[in-house]
Protein backbone atom coordinates (compact mmCIF):
# COMPACT_ATOMS: atom_id res chain seq x y z
CA UNK A 1 0.00 0.00 0.00
CA UNK A 2 1.19 3.42 -0.81
CA UNK A 3 0.91 6.46 1.36
CA UNK A 4 -2.01 7.78 -0.61
CA UNK A 5 -3.87 4.59 -0.21
CA UNK A 6 -3.23 4.48 3.52
CA UNK A 7 -4.33 8.04 4.00
CA UNK A 8 -7.45 7.41 1.96
CA UNK A 9 -8.21 4.30 3.94
CA UNK A 10 -7.97 6.15 7.25
CA UNK A 11 -9.96 9.07 5.91
CA UNK A 12 -12.69 6.90 4.74
CA UNK A 13 -12.96 5.01 7.94
CA UNK A 14 -14.74 6.65 10.77
CA UNK A 15 -12.45 7.84 13.46
CA UNK A 16 -13.06 6.31 16.85
CA UNK A 17 -15.29 8.34 19.04
CA UNK A 18 -14.04 8.86 22.53
CA UNK A 19 -16.53 9.85 25.06
CA UNK A 20 -15.09 11.39 28.17
CA UNK A 21 -16.93 13.53 30.53
CA UNK A 22 -15.60 16.88 31.54
CA UNK A 23 -15.25 15.61 35.07
CA UNK A 24 -12.96 12.77 33.95
CA UNK A 25 -10.80 15.11 31.90
CA UNK A 26 -10.49 17.55 34.79
CA UNK A 27 -9.76 14.72 37.18
CA UNK A 28 -6.90 13.46 34.98
CA UNK A 29 -5.50 16.96 34.64
CA UNK A 30 -5.76 17.45 38.37
CA UNK A 31 -3.90 14.16 38.97
CA UNK A 32 -1.13 15.14 36.54
CA UNK A 33 -0.78 18.57 38.14
CA UNK A 34 -0.72 17.03 41.62
CA UNK A 35 1.96 14.58 40.52
CA UNK A 36 4.09 17.37 39.08
CA UNK A 37 3.65 19.51 42.19
CA UNK A 38 4.64 16.54 44.34
CA UNK A 39 7.78 15.97 42.28
CA UNK A 40 8.69 19.66 42.38
CA UNK A 41 8.12 19.80 46.15
CA UNK A 42 10.29 16.72 46.68
CA UNK A 43 13.08 18.20 44.58
CA UNK A 44 12.85 21.48 46.45
CA UNK A 45 12.88 19.69 49.81
CA UNK A 46 16.04 17.79 48.82
CA UNK A 47 17.73 20.97 47.62
CA UNK A 48 16.75 22.84 50.77
CA UNK A 49 18.13 19.99 52.87
CA UNK A 50 21.41 20.09 50.92
CA UNK A 51 21.65 23.86 51.26
CA UNK A 52 20.93 23.64 54.99
CA UNK A 53 23.63 20.99 55.44
CA UNK A 54 26.15 23.11 53.56
CA UNK A 55 25.21 26.19 55.58
CA UNK A 56 25.49 24.30 58.86
CA UNK A 57 28.91 23.05 57.84
CA UNK A 58 30.01 26.58 56.91
CA UNK A 59 28.62 28.01 60.17
CA UNK A 60 30.48 25.34 62.13
CA UNK A 61 33.74 26.21 60.36
CA UNK A 62 33.19 29.93 60.91
CA UNK A 63 32.44 29.34 64.60
CA UNK A 64 35.65 27.30 64.99
CA UNK A 65 37.66 30.06 63.34
CA UNK A 66 36.02 32.68 65.55
CA UNK A 67 36.87 30.62 68.64
CA UNK A 68 40.50 30.44 67.50
CA UNK A 69 40.56 34.19 66.92
CA UNK A 70 38.94 34.77 70.32
CA UNK A 71 41.61 32.62 71.98
CA UNK A 72 44.37 34.55 70.23
CA UNK A 73 42.77 37.84 71.23
CA UNK A 74 42.66 36.71 74.86
CA UNK A 75 46.35 35.79 74.69
CA UNK A 76 47.12 39.21 73.22
CA UNK A 77 45.17 40.93 75.99
CA UNK A 78 47.06 38.93 78.63
CA UNK A 79 50.36 39.72 76.92
CA UNK A 80 49.44 43.39 76.75
CA UNK A 81 48.67 43.42 80.48
CA UNK A 82 52.02 41.76 81.20
CA UNK A 83 53.82 44.25 78.97
CA UNK A 84 52.02 47.11 80.67
CA UNK A 85 53.24 45.87 84.04
CA UNK A 86 56.78 45.47 82.73
CA UNK A 87 56.67 48.95 81.21
CA UNK A 88 55.62 50.42 84.56
CA UNK A 89 58.47 48.55 86.28
CA UNK A 90 60.95 49.80 83.68
CA UNK A 91 59.61 53.32 84.04
CA UNK A 92 60.18 53.19 87.79
CA UNK A 93 63.71 51.88 87.23
CA UNK A 94 64.44 54.66 84.74
CA UNK A 95 63.19 57.25 87.24
CA UNK A 96 65.44 55.71 89.91
CA UNK A 97 68.43 55.69 87.57
CA UNK A 98 67.70 59.30 86.60
CA UNK A 99 67.70 60.35 90.27
CA UNK A 100 70.97 58.50 90.88
CA UNK A 101 72.48 60.11 87.79
CA UNK A 102 71.42 63.55 88.97
CA UNK A 103 72.99 62.82 92.36
CA UNK A 104 76.17 61.55 90.69
CA UNK A 105 76.37 64.68 88.52
CA UNK A 106 76.05 66.84 91.63
CA UNK A 107 78.86 64.92 93.34
CA UNK A 108 81.01 65.09 90.21
CA UNK A 109 80.52 68.87 90.01
CA UNK A 110 81.50 69.20 93.69
CA UNK A 111 84.62 67.09 93.16
CA UNK A 112 85.52 69.07 90.03
CA UNK A 113 85.12 72.39 91.86
CA UNK A 114 87.28 71.07 94.72
CA UNK A 115 90.00 69.92 92.29
CA UNK A 116 89.95 73.28 90.50
CA UNK A 117 90.19 75.18 93.81
CA UNK A 118 93.02 72.91 94.92
CA UNK A 119 94.88 73.53 91.64
CA UNK A 120 94.39 77.27 91.85
CA UNK A 121 95.57 77.38 95.50
CA UNK A 122 98.58 75.24 94.55
CA UNK A 123 99.46 77.59 91.69
CA UNK A 124 99.05 80.61 93.94
CA UNK A 125 101.25 79.07 96.63
CA UNK A 126 103.79 77.97 94.06
CA UNK A 127 104.16 81.37 92.47
CA UNK A 128 103.83 83.27 95.72
CA UNK A 129 100.98 85.59 94.90
CA UNK A 130 99.99 85.72 98.52
CA UNK A 131 102.42 86.35 101.29
CA UNK A 132 103.38 83.35 103.33
CA UNK A 133 103.44 83.89 107.06
CA UNK A 134 106.94 85.60 107.09
CA UNK A 135 106.92 89.17 108.14
What's the domain count of the chain? 1
- Rounded Cα–Cα distance for residues 98 and 92 (Å): 10
User: Dihedral angle at the C-alpha atoms of 82, 88, 90, 94, nearest 10 degrees?
Assistant: 170
89 belongs to a structural domain: yes
5 belongs to a structural domain: no
- Rounded Cα–Cα distance for residues 105 and 102 (Å): 5
Give the structural domain span for 112: 21-127
> What secondary structure letter does DSSP report for 54?
H
- Rounded Cα–Cα distance for residues 72 and 122 (Å): 72
Read off the pTM.
0.43
105 belongs to a structural domain: yes
Query: 43-65, pLDDT tens digit by residue?
Result: 999 999 999 999 999 999 999 99
**Residues in contact with 67: Cβ distance below 8 Å, sequence separation at least 6, in sequence order:** none
Q: Where is pLDDT greater, at 68 or 128?
A: 68
Amino acid sequence: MSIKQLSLKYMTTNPPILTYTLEEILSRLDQKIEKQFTEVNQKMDRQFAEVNQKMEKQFTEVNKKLEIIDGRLNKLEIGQAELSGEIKTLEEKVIGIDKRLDNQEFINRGVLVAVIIALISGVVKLFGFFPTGKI
